[in-house]
Structure 1
Amino acid sequence: MTWLRALRKTARSGVRVERAPLEPLVALRTASGVAIVIGVALWLASPSVAASSAFGAFAAGMATLQRSWRPRPVLALVAGAGLAVSTFLGYLAAAHPVLFVVLLAVWAFLAGMAWAMGPTSGMVAAFTIAVMLVVVTLPTSVLSALQHGVLIAVGGVVQAAVIVLFPIRRWGRQRDALADAFAAEADFARRLRHDPTAPFDPEALMTARRAAKVSPRQARRRPGELHGNRALAERIRPVLASLADPVVGAAAEGPERDRARQVLAMAATVLDAVARAIRHGAAVRVPDDVADVLRAPDPDAELTGGARRSATRLVALLAAAIERAEGSGPAESTATAHLLRPSLREGLPLVARAVRRQMTAGSPVLRHATRLSAVASAGYLLGGALPLGHGYWAPLTSVMVMRPDFTQTYERGTARFAGSLVGVSAATGVTQFAHPGPYTSAALAVCCVALMYLLLPVGYMVAQLCASGYVVFLLAMTGTSGAQTVRDRVLLTLLGGVLAMAAYALFPAWETPRLRDRLAQWLEATAGYGAAVFEGYADPGRPRTRAVRQALLDTRAAGAAWDEAVFRADAEPVRQRGMSRTAVRNADAALTALGRAGMLMEAHLPPADAAPLPDVARFVAALRATAATAAEDVRERRTPDFAPVRAALADWQRPAAEDRMVRRGAELLVETLDELEEALRPRAEARRRPADGGPAPAS
């Protein structure tokens, strides 16, 4: 993609306004925290003190609205404390320009490295820089700066107190995440009725797992319907796929296929009912005919073989899901049954390791931190050198739009300029012509922040429009708005956006060259998942549940990283892709099918007293060894060779009747590896193979 096309695409995406569900009560509660802080500060102190504390409450509110499963009050307190420290240190250095620039560079670098801990940490860290740039212009003494810092922290405390005193839909986000997981499986069941090989997007299950991580205190207070249901959802997924699959499940055509479709329709109905019950905290309501099937002693008499086993297990899992959704199922009694979130003391070593892992030359987070540090310093110096006044608008814009990847940086840069142009123009026009007093400006600022909190899901441009008005009215409250015109603010905003975009163009961290490495990681993880599943057949007596589960999680994480890399690479202006788009699509399809083969076999893992299968053990050993070699071939731009896996399958002795399903699953896995091998074969080599007398490419 050329630079012109990439810029045009990101610009359109940045100014797009989306239809999204709004949360007016949450927005009203968060805005009320800002209003309380501003009102009390105006009553007891001065407009400048009110502005400082309002910035703290504003940023703390923004932190609580980020997508995080941490308790909202904790995020507000952390944001307020970080803002207080950054603001006080900034004021101490503000009287010495060189020292302040050094402090700004160091703080910006640390804020950029905060992205190693996740997007929420990165966003909160960026707010500390932005607020520091504005607030350090307000105090007049060290004591005053200390007071302002304390008041900013108080703003975070107020936001936390408002959340505690006025809870809105307790455990609502966790309920929605778990309900979305069941709804995704209901949709999966419906699609399987018409397409037995339909893919399943694990994003909903991944989100539900993140939402299920709780502290020991939260685990004791969690509603009963949120206990254990996520694990049930995980177990239902492979059973649905194995029932529909014509290789290991119901026959492709005939009465058995018709019955399988009926069972899948019933499963979709039950899963939707469970999702609604969890979301709203109500009883599960299913039609009478579906309830009769769940209570029947032998609901799947029309099915045979693997299809019957899958249907019987599916009915049992659905019945358990209904019981747990109503809070009547067995609940975990020990702390080890929960996904425990590490405490603050336990989390510090994890944070240190996450940051250390990013301290490499090719790390996008380290590059982002370096860019952010350089741009914030350059923007501050350039803004101060220009005869426009209040030059902090330039670095403020830069730090708020910059992200570790090209797409988000350029999207947000365009959206911020467009939103700032309208928001600053409108708000400055009001202050210039209406000359509102401190209380009127405060009221207008609260209205702007309430709209911003409400419209945040709609798009960054709309949110930035409201945020710009909020800043302008706060500064008007302190009496500093008349010194700066609309033109000056817009030009400085444009300068900050240009600096951010230029920094990424000069020192990028493209995803495109890393596509092969992401693909190799996904290959290793997916092959490892298949090997872990087949090891359960090779040695049934050895516990495999934890190994299979961990392998599945690794596969999901690697697949999500690959999907994100492909999405970003498609928008990057990089000509040397390393992989053609056709190869990307074909490799994606092959590895998705490889993961599906493992999922089908996971649904039929044998009991511990089943007989071991030595042929499967040799097949697994060949798969693990070949996958490691193939992953290295992918990284080195060589065509992977899965001949050892094919040979291990060819040496497989004729299985007994009850083991034929295992052989069919292994054949399906080898077919997907053949497809991957062909997808990564250079075109010239693929054309030569038939002419050289080799086998024809796989279809």
Structure 2
Amino acid sequence: MIWLRALKETARSGLTLERRRLEPLVALRGAAGLALVVGVALVLFGPVVAVSSAFGAFQAAIATFQRSWRPRPVLALASGGSLAVSTFLGYVTAFELPLFLALLALWTFVAGLAWAVGPTVGIIAASNVAIMLVTITLPTSVATAAGHAAVIAAGGLVQAALIVLFPVRRWGAQRDALADALAAEADYARRLRHDPTASFDPEPLMLARSAAAVTPRQARRRPAELHGTRGVAERIRPVLASLADPAVGVPAEGPERERCREILAAAATVLDRAAHAIRHGKSVRIPPEAAATLRSPDTVTVLSGPPRRAAIRLVALLDDVVEEAEGESTGEGPHRDRPALHKLIPGAIRSIRAELRRGSPILRHAVRVSAVVTVGYLLGSALPLGHGYWVPLTSAMVMRPDFSQTYARSVARLGGTVVGVGVATAVVETATPGTYLSGALAVLCAFGMYLVMRTGYVAANICVSAYVVFLLGMGGEDAGQTVPERILLTLLGGILGMISYALYPAWETPRLRNRLADWLTADGRYAAAVVDHYAHPGHPARQEEVRTALLAARDARIAWQDALARAIHEPVRSRGLTRAGAEHAEHALAQLGRSAMLMEAHLPVHAANPVPEAGALADALRQDTERAAKAVRDHRPLRWDRVERALAAWEDDHPVLRSGGALLAEALDELADALDDRGDDRVRGG
């Protein structure tokens, strides 16, 4: 039943279409580059070379749609160049089956390990293997193979040139990431009006931080409004929370709470307007009502203590946001460096080497995909159906390091192939298009693929399947003979990928406790760094420690959430972690991080008096959370002896620290209770 449920859920996921904002101009540019490459190759070299060039330009354009902050021309060039190398090496060994199988196994294994570098690299590497299996059937000699590799690389060059010559919404991805972060904070401010302890998902801020890393060349060309807004946005979130939370902010009821709600509403309006201005490159227009609310003297007369300081700080930060969004900052300031592509190679090698260990999901994926693609090539060649490369091609395209994506993409691949091949074949048999019309239809299908590829894999695969039919028809292949064969071989390739995961899995469910322990350790270090800052106010090293610990805690939280999302669809049970326990533990750790964030909003300045008790509490937090993380992994009860003793010995009457310490202790107790749950509602797939 568990497997049937998991298969049902993954199948539904694979066939689901999402509503996403389409980018017709970007899709048109990619299709135009493809049309230019195919047209020139047809006129100068003939249809066979045109097919090779089409694959290069097609794949290069797909690479530019991947989620990456690296310049799009670089992605196009890297994709075209790597595909050219793959094609040439594949053809050179294609005449000796044992040698080619060895190359295919090795190349696919490396492509599987490429996921350690990131999903963009992994997708490009997998696509290179899949397309190589088609393109090596086209040349007739080594010299011709070199020519085909050259035109494939030229396809990537053409796509990169078009991106440079005809930019569409330059810096659009970075603008969207920053605008999304500001919009998320605006929504957070509104929710705090009604729920003073509302949670905040830091993922938009993490994406904005990733998008803010630029190369030295980009730093000189970056729009002024993207210079420092993200840094200001990072500082706004804890101030919003500290103003609204009754523990360190305004009381739950009374005139202070009403004034807080007015300030939060005005802040949300300003953040929304700044997000809109950055997204569209326009001026920020603040409604007079919101500006008057933020400037009202009632803030000083009604509020007092930490809430007053938080409100004044919030107004100053909102002014900075508007100033940065308008591009009126006094200087560019520091920026996060994004190294050049060639400088990433040592780090990529280190990431891959780190995955060469027993139990690594990436290593298991590499072994799986290498074995399946090699076996699939042999099966496809042995079957009397022709076009046997569709078996390994399908496996290479659908297999991913996690269960849900592999199974969902297998179902979507079959469904998309049936529809795409069926429609394209009907057109071919009815209209009998010639070489040039087939090429035009292939370009049209590519445009459709670029347009809808972010809405769902099944929609994109319909267009891809039709694209291949028209493209191979342009090269002289009889598409009508390939319909049942291609569908059957696609089904076989998908089934092989699904069976391989069942036989050699890399389940996320058994690792959930490790992910939870990592998050607990990171949250503990973050809380300790914040508390320790009160014992050593204004120390530069302590400030950097707080920032580093915060980023590590965010990464650990996202890793846990991603792991839990994958585990839910897996057809296996979790040992010792109930579904309810996982949810309660997640809430407790989110509250632990939030408690530290509230204290971070009131970090003392350099001239403030140190609080000696804070140092003892910080040490207790580090030791107890590290010990508790080991207990989580070992399925043992959690204890907070050192933290309890440190809080019991507290003598200083610092309002923020005393309230924050109580919130920390409450979150730790909640975590211990959550993991003590021994219910039967286990985390499972489906």
TM-score range, shorter chain: over 0.9
Which of residues 418, 427, 436 in structure 2 aligns to 1:439? 436
Would you say 1:616 and 2:611 are equivalent positions? Answer: no
Whole-Å separation in 2 of the counterparts to 1:354 and 1:516: 23
Q: CA deviation at 1:483?
A: 7.1
Structure 1 residue 431: Cα displacement: 2.2
The answer to whether 1:422 aligns with 2:419 is yes
Matched, 1:526 2:523: yes
Q: Is the 8 A contact 2:508 2:566 kept in 1?
A: yes
| Cα distance between partner residues in 1 of 2:556 and 2:666 | 21
Residue pair 2:248, 2:655 contacting (<8 A) in 1 also:
no
| 2:481 maps to which of 481, 484, 501 | 484
Q: Which residue of 2 aligns with 1:60?
A: 60
Amino acid at match of 2:642: P
Please say if residues 387 and 482 of structure 2, whose CA atoms lie closer than 8 Å, have aligned partners that are also in contact: no
> Do the aligned residues in 1 keep the contact of 2:535 with 2:614 (CA within 8 Å)?
yes
CA contact (8 A) 1:512 1:578 kept: no
Give the equivalent residue in structure 1 for 2:624. Answer: 626
Say yes or no: does 1:351 pair with 2:366: no
SS in 1 for 2:339: coil
Answer whether contact 2:219 2:335 (CA < 8 A) is retained. yes
Please tell me whether the aligned partners of residues 424 and 469 of structure 2 are also in contact (alpha carbons under 8 angstroms): yes
Equivalent residue, structure 2, for 1:688 = none
Map of 1:493 onto structure 2: 490
Deviations 1:196-247 (A, max 9, x none): 0100011110110111010011111111100110000000000000000000
Write out aligned runs for 1:542-621 (5 A).
542-543=539-540, 544-621=542-619
Matching residue's letter, 2:477: T
Quick one: which amino acid aligns to residue 533 of structure 1? V
Distance 1:254 1:119 in 2: 51
1:407 counterpart = 2:380: no
Contact 2:391 2:489 in 1 (8 A): yes
In structure 1, C-alpha distance between the alignment counterparts of 2:54 and 2:182, rounded to whole Å: 41
Q: How does 1:328-339 map to 2 (within 5 A)?
A: 328-333=328-333, 337-339=334-336
Provide the rounded CA distance (Å) in 1 between the counterparts of 2:295 and 2:637.
53
Decide whether aligned partners of structure 1 residues 26 and 567 sit closer, same or farther in structure 2, where only a CA change above 3 A counts: same
Q: Kindly, what percent of the aligned residue pairs are identical?
A: 60
- What does 1:616-655 align with in structure 2 at a 5 Å threshold? 616-653=614-651, 655=652
Deviation at 1:293, TM superposition (A): 4.1
Q: Secondary structure at the match of 1:177?
A: helix
Query: Are 2:241 and 1:246 aligned?
Result: no
Aligned to 1:695: none
Structure 2 residue 189 is matched with structure 1 residue 194: no
Q: Secondary structure at the match of 1:340?
A: coil
Residue of structure 1 in register with 2:221 after alignment: 221
SS of 1:289's equivalent in the other structure is helix
Determine the structure 2 residue equivalent to 1:449.
Answer: 446
Query: SS of the residue aligned with 2:627?
Result: helix
Q: 2-side partners of 1:89 and 1:211: how far apart?
A: 35
Match of 2:534 among 534, 537, 546: 537
Deviation of 1:482 after TM superposition, in Å, equals 4.2
1:305-384 equivalence runs, <5 A: 305-333=305-333, 337-384=334-381
Match of 2:514 in 1: 517
CA distance in structure 2 between the partners assigned to 1:485 and 1:661 by the alignment: 72
Contact 1:428–1:481, Cα closer than 8 Å, also in 2: no
Q: Does 1:669 align with 2:664?
A: yes
* Alpha-carbon shift at residue 345 of structure 1 (Å): 4.0
How much has 1:540 moved relative to structure 2?
0.6
Residues 388 and 484, structure 1, Cα contact 8 Å, conserved in 2: no
Is contact 1:389-1:484 (8 Å) kept? Answer: no
Equivalent-residue separation in structure 2 for 1:478 and 1:282 (angstroms): 49
**AA of the residue aligned to 2:566:** R
- Whether contact under 8 Å (1:377, 1:395) holds in the other structure is yes
- Which of 469, 472, 478 is 2:469 aligned to? 472
Please list the CA deviations of residues 448-496 of structure 1 after superposition, one character each: whole Å capped at 9, or x if unmatched. Answer: 0000100112110010000001011111011113473311110000000
Q: Which amino acid aligns with 2:40?
A: V
Segments of 5+ residues of structure 1 without an aligned counterpart are: 685-699
Contact 2:469 2:479 survives alignment (8 Å): no
The 8 Å contact of residues 248 and 656 in structure 2, kept in 1 or not, is answered as yes
Look up the equivalent residue of 1:660 and give its one-letter code.
Answer: P
Structure 1, residues 623-672: CA drift from partner, whole Å, max 9, x if none? 1011111100001111111122111100111x23xx12211111110110
Partner Cα distance (1:404, 1:168) in 2: 33
Q: In the alignment, does 2:676 pair up with 1:681?
A: yes
Give the superposition deviation at 1:578: 3.5
CA–CA distance in structure 2, aligned partners of residues 492 and 460 of structure 1: 19
- How many residues align? The count is 678
Report the CA distance between 1:340 and its aligned residue. Answer: 0.3
* Offset from partner CA, 1:585-628 (integer Å, 9 cap, x none): 11001000000001100100011111111111111111101111
Unmatched tracts of structure 2, length 5 or more = 680-686
CA contact (8 A) 1:431 1:481 kept: no
Q: Could you list the per-position Cα deviations for residues 510-530 of structure 1 after superposition, in whole angstroms to 9, with x for gaps in the alignment?
A: 000000000000000011111
The 1-side partners of 2:198 and 2:479 are apart by: 62
Contact 1:540 1:609 in 2 (8 A): yes
Instruction: Output the amino acid matched with 2:346.
Output: P
Superposition TM-score, scaled by structure 2 size: 0.97
CA distance in 2, matches of 1:226, 1:576: 44
Shift of 1:445: 0.2
Helix, strand or coil at the partner of 2:577:
coil
* Conserved? CA contact 1:239–1:314, under 8 Å: yes
Contact kept? 2:576, 2:678, Cα under 8 Å: no
